[in-house]
Structure 1
Amino acid sequence: MAIAFIFNDLSSVMTVVSLTTFIGILWWTFVLNRSADFDEAAHLPFADDADGGPPSSTENKHG
């Protein structure tokens, strides 16, 4: 019987912790105006290499 009460209390605590974490992530994302950082990170896959050439491949070409 006591274990059921412990699990009920832990379930309530984990719900509050999860909700607080979710609200914290939303606050960090939208309230802190980090859009410049996110825009820069979004363009990283399109950044050129330092030498300007295609990336070197160590994979053998077949065919």
Structure 2
Amino acid sequence: ITDSGASDVDPTVSPDSAWVAFLSNRDGAWKIWAAPATGGEAQLIAPMAGDVGNWLEQNIQWIP
């Protein structure tokens, strides 16, 4: 997804195709990040509760 050198996993495209949300450990802990689909800097969206394995089973869901 990005060239951060971290593990970026479980990408999910927003309904308008403008953003890609994903899980990443880029700052040392697993969190939800989003980056513009056309490229650009990723933004921290939220920390994650629980184990990353549980998140990988559920996938990120976009809400209006």
Bin the TM-score by the shorter chain: under 0.3
TM-score after normalising by structure 2? 0.18
TM-score after normalising by structure 1? 0.18
Q: Which has the higher contact order (CA 8 A, sep 6+)?
A: 2
